[in-house]
Structure 1
Amino acid sequence: MRCITIWQPWATLIALGEKKFETRSWATKHRDSIAIHAGKKVDKAICQKEPFRSVLAKHGYTVNNLPTGSVVAVCRLADCLQVIEGCGGEVKLESPSQSIAIGDKENAFGLFDAGRFAWELTDVRLLPKPIPAKGMQGLWNWEGNK
C-alpha cells in the first residue's frame, strides 16, 4: 500500500477525520488506498493554538500523547486538486472533476497557498493501535505488519 509520512498533529487530525485535505507542493496521480504515517516530528507550538488544541482535546489528545513513528490510519486518496485562490480570502480548489471551496477550520489545518495541491482524503479509518514504521519522504510503499 502507498503511504505518506506527515508530521504531528496533522497526521492525527487526518486519522480522526478532522482534516480532509493534505496540502503539498507537488501533485500526484495516485488514486487509491493510502496509509497515513505519523512522523517523529511534533509541532508542539501549533498543538497549543486554536483550533488545533480544542480539536485534539475533543478526541483525548494533547501534545504529549500523539503517536509518532507509526502508521495511524488508512484512507482513500480520492482526488488531487490545485489551490486556485488562498491566503486572505476564500480558498478554492479545482481539479478536472470538481471545484471546492473549503471552510475556515480546514483552511487552518493546511497550507493553502495558490499553486499548491490539496490531496482529498476520504473513507478514513483510524487504526485501533498505531503500527510502528519508519517513514520516508514522498509516497512510499508500506508493507503493513511485516
Structure 2
Amino acid sequence: MPETENPPVRGLTVKQPWAWAITAGKNVENRSWKVPQKYIGATLLVHAGLGLIRDAFEDERILALPAMPPVLAAGAVLAVARLAGYHPEERGCCAPWGDPDVFHWQLEDVRPLPEPVKYTGALSLWKPSPALQQMAQAIR
C-alpha cells in the first residue's frame, strides 16, 4: 500500500521518565520545534531513549501518575500514538503537561505495548524499519 494512503509512521525518542509518562496519561509532548505539517495525523512510535532527566523523577506531574515501574525501559519503543496536532504554548494551556515557551505536540489514542520493543532511536522524527511500521499499523 503506498504511503500516501495511510498517514506515515514515525518514531519519536523521548527521555525517561517522560516516555513512560506518555504511556501513563501524558498527552502533550513539549518540543522546541514545530511538527512538519505532513506528520499531523501520523502514527508515532513513542521510543524511550537511553538518557534520563533525573530532575523529572521529582516533578509533581510525574508523581501524580500511577506508580512508576521499578525499572524503566530504555532504548525501546513503549507505545503507539497518533500525532493529532501542535501549537505554540499560550498562557498556560495544555495543563498540566504543557511547558511554557515551547510547542505542544498533542498526542491522542496512546496505546502502550504489552512489552517494550528494543530499538535504536534517533533525533527528530525518524523512520522505523518496515517490520516496526507493520507492527505499529497492526496496533492502530
Question: Does TM, scored on the shorter chain, surpass 0.5?
Answer: yes
TM-score (normalizing by structure 1): 0.74
| Contact residue 37 and residue 72 of structure 1 kept, 8 A | yes
Runs of 4+ in structure 1 over 4 Å off: none
Partner in structure 2 of residue 42 of structure 1 = 52
Per-residue CA deviations over 1:24-59 (Å, capped at 9, x if unaligned) read 11111212211100001122332134232342xx24
Partner in structure 1 of residue 19 of structure 2 = 11
Q: 3-state DSSP class of the match of 1:106?
A: coil
Count matched residues.
Answer: 121
Partner in structure 1 of residue 128 of structure 2 = 142
User: How far apart are residue 82 of structure 1 and its match?
Assistant: 1.3
Q: Which has the higher helix share?
A: 2
Distance (whole Å) between structure 1 residues aligned to residue 20 and residue 50 of structure 2: 12
After superposition, the CA RMSD in angstroms is 1.9
Q: Structure 2 stretches of 5 or more lacking a match? A: 1-8, 135-140
| Contact residue 61 and residue 97 of structure 2 kept, 8 A | no
The alignment-based identity, stated in percent, is 31
Q: 3-state DSSP class of the match of 2:123?
A: coil
Partner in structure 1 of residue 78 of structure 2 = 72
Q: Which has the higher strand share?
A: 1
Per-residue CA deviations over 1:74-126 (Å, capped at 9, x if unaligned) read 000001111122xxxxx13xxxxxxxxx33x324xxx322xx21110000000
Q: Structure 1 stretches of 5 or more lacking a match? A: 86-90, 93-101
| Contact residue 131 and residue 145 of structure 1 kept, 8 A | no
User: How far apart are residue 21 of structure 1 and its match?
Assistant: 0.6
Equivalent residue runs for 1:1-146 within 5 Å: 1-16=9-24, 18-28=25-35, 29=37, 30-31=39-40, 32-55=42-65, 58-62=66-70, 65-85=71-91, 91-92=92-93, 102-103=94-95, 105-107=96-98, 111-113=99-101, 116-143=102-129, 144=132
